[in-house]
Amino acid sequence: MVQNEDGRLKARALEVIPNGLYGHLSVKMQSPRTPQYYKRAKGAYLWDYDDNQYIDYLCAFGPNLFGYGHDEIDAAYIEQLREIDTATGPSVRMVELAEAYADQVSHCDWTMFCKNGTDATTMALMTARAYREKRKILIATGAYHGATKWCTPMPEGTVTEDHAHHIYYEYNNAQSLRRAVEEAGDDLAGVFATPFKHEVIHPQQLPDEEYARTARQLCDEKDALLILDDVRAGFRLDRDCSWEKIGVRPDLSSWGKTLANGHPLSCLMGSDRAREAAGKIFVTGSFWFGAAAMAAGLKTLELIRTTDYIERTIMLGDRLRDGLEQVSKETGIIIDQTGPSQMPLIMINDDDGNRNMPACVAFCDGLLDHGVFFHPFHNMFITPAMSEDDIDRTIDGCHAVAKKLPSIPMPEVAL
């Protein structure tokens, strides 16, 4: 793997961008071997500025649902762009897409569009508070709901008052949720949940049905709103809201990432119960009503409805999972795999079951030489644009790197 141009770009960025990059792409959180700028993306692949090609298991951290640069979706985007995009008001695409979501997502009676997942979770929080003018918001410890002052995981730039009315509970623990609801007393506004436990580093957990049903029941008893944060998992696990299969319907759900296959679109969906409250809050943005991303959203939804993309993604994810189990057996490297097949968290553990962060980083660094882009501690994403051959090449790469792992120097990791 050549890294000349990427090195030059990193040096230039340091001069004009604080720390070179920020947020989840922060230089501090990436191995120096990870490329930071990318020249091209198509289908399942990504190219850096040194023309190294990777099978990309990050999928833009979620938005790449059907493959980068999808011809039909991009054609819908471009066609709309030629007519009208960001203008003084929205186009008919906004009404069409809200109608289409009301048809597609069981709990959804209305939609409010925005641009990022954080916009959608913030609107959910405000709607829950506006609903009965209550303040307390319940959040699972460690859950990520975005990057603004009420939810950013880092304290810099925030004050304790930003979280003054948050109460934390343990994900998948109905007892812990009950205790948090008791603590909120008669001031409970809403309960946030992610479709499954998908925070970084920790093993992912599928939702416990009793926990999910308890969340619904407690919100009904207390006349508070249940919010499902489907920003990361939405339309990857299900063609409906992610808890539909377990029979739990939220009052509000936040969406983003996959909605327009990479074009900027997110939204808050809600049921009639929350409609009036949603209508009270003042939220907007200069780019929120752009028609092109909504046209891309309509085409993406058509593909969600009419293709076997989820079934194919599960098949590919299972093929990878089985292959890595075999690699683990053959090399003795403990590869811990958790979460749904479509969104695996893949990490290296020590014999005692603890995360071996230097080994995770070394593993991902090594895979770059095999044209495979993995993340050392964030869940990854499978796209149906991957081929069986891509998965098999990934497994071969993992085998080669795992075999070498005990003998290569471990990187220093500042996590």
User: Considering only residues 20, 43, 67, 117, which one is a binding residue for ligand PMP as defined by CB under 6 A?
Assistant: 117
Q: How far is the CB of 12 from ligand PMP (least distance, A)?
A: 25
Of the ranges 177-185, 224-232, 316-324, 330-338, which one interacts with ligand PMP (CB under 6 A)? 224-232
Gap between the Cα atoms of 127 and 272, Å rounded: 13
Closest C-alpha among 385, 339, 313, 403 to residue 69: 385
| Residues 6 or more apart whose Cβ sits within 8 Å of residue 208 | 172, 174
For the record, the structure tokens of 64 come out as 């790449």
Burial label, 15 (beta-carbon count in 10 A; 0-12, 13-18, 19+): exposed
User: Which residue number, 111 or 328, has a Cβ lying nearer to ligand PMP?
Assistant: 111
Using CB under 6 A as the binding rule, the residues of this chain from 12 to 51 that contact ligand PMP are none
User: Which residue number, 117 or 262, has a Cβ lying nearer to ligand PMP?
Assistant: 117
Burial label, 396 (beta-carbon count in 10 A; 0-12, 13-18, 19+): middle
State yes or no: residue 229 binds ligand PMP (CB under 6 A): yes
User: Which residue number, 125 or 398, has a Cβ lying nearer to ligand PMP?
Assistant: 125
Q: How far is the CB of 230 from ligand PMP (least distance, A)?
A: 8
Gap between the Cα atoms of 309 and 303, Å rounded: 8
Q: How far is the CB of 234 from ligand PMP (least distance, A)?
A: 9
User: Which residue number, 1 or 281, has a Cβ lying nearer to ligand PMP?
Assistant: 281
User: Which residue number, 267 or 367, has a Cβ lying nearer to ligand PMP?
Assistant: 267
Q: Please answer whether residues 194 and 154 qualify as being in contact, where contact means their C-beta atoms are separated by less than 8 angstroms.
A: no
User: Considering only residues 116, 122, 214, 258, which one is a binding residue for ligand PMP as defined by CB under 6 A?
Assistant: 116
Gap between the Cα atoms of 367 and 399, Å rounded: 10
Q: How far is the CB of 254 from ligand PMP (least distance, A)?
A: 7
User: Considering only residues 30, 80, 111, 121, which one is a binding residue for ligand PMP as defined by CB under 6 A?
Assistant: 121
Gap between the Cα atoms of 184 and 161, Å rounded: 16
Q: Please answer whether residues 108 and 312 qualify as being in contact, where contact means their C-beta atoms are separated by less than 8 angstroms.
A: no
Q: How far is the CB of 107 from ligand PMP (least distance, A)?
A: 18
Using CB under 6 A as the binding rule, the residues of this chain from 47 to 86 that contact ligand PMP are 61
Cα–Cα–Cα angle for 323, 327, 329, rounded to 5 degrees: 115
| Residues 6 or more apart whose Cβ sits within 8 Å of residue 244 | 106, 107, 238
- Contact characters 180-219, ligand PMP, x per CB under 6 A: --------------x-------------------------
Of the ranges 43-51, 110-118, 323-331, 340-348, which one interacts with ligand PMP (CB under 6 A)? 110-118
Tell me which amino acid residue 105 is: V
Q: Please answer whether residues 383 and 45 qualify as being in contact, where contact means their C-beta atoms are separated by less than 8 angstroms.
A: no
User: Considering only residues 93, 107, 145, 299, which one is a binding residue for ligand PMP as defined by CB under 6 A?
Assistant: 145
Q: Decide: helix, strand or coil at residue 269.
A: strand
For the beta carbon of residue 410, count every other beta carbon within 10 angstroms. 12
User: Which residue number, 47 or 61, has a Cβ lying nearer to ligand PMP?
Assistant: 61
Q: Decide: helix, strand or coil at residue 355.
A: strand
State yes or no: residue 231 binds ligand PMP (CB under 6 A): yes
User: Which residue number, 139 or 324, has a Cβ lying nearer to ligand PMP?
Assistant: 139
State yes or no: residue 339 binds ligand PMP (CB under 6 A): no
User: Considering only residues 67, 250, 256, 290, which one is a binding residue for ligand PMP as defined by CB under 6 A?
Assistant: 256
The kind and range of the H/E element at 191 are: strand 188-193
Gap between the Cα atoms of 184 and 398, Å rounded: 48
Of the ranges 227-235, 331-339, 350-358, 402-410, which one interacts with ligand PMP (CB under 6 A)? 227-235
The kind and range of the H/E element at 81 are: helix 71-83
State yes or no: residue 232 binds ligand PMP (CB under 6 A): yes
For the record, the structure tokens of 11 come out as 């040096």
- Contact characters 150-179, ligand PMP, x per CB under 6 A: ------------------------------
State yes or no: residue 118 binds ligand PMP (CB under 6 A): yes
Tell me which amino acid residue 237 is: L
Residues in the site for ligand PMP, rule: CB under 6 A? Answer: 61, 116-118, 121, 144-146, 194, 229, 231-232, 256
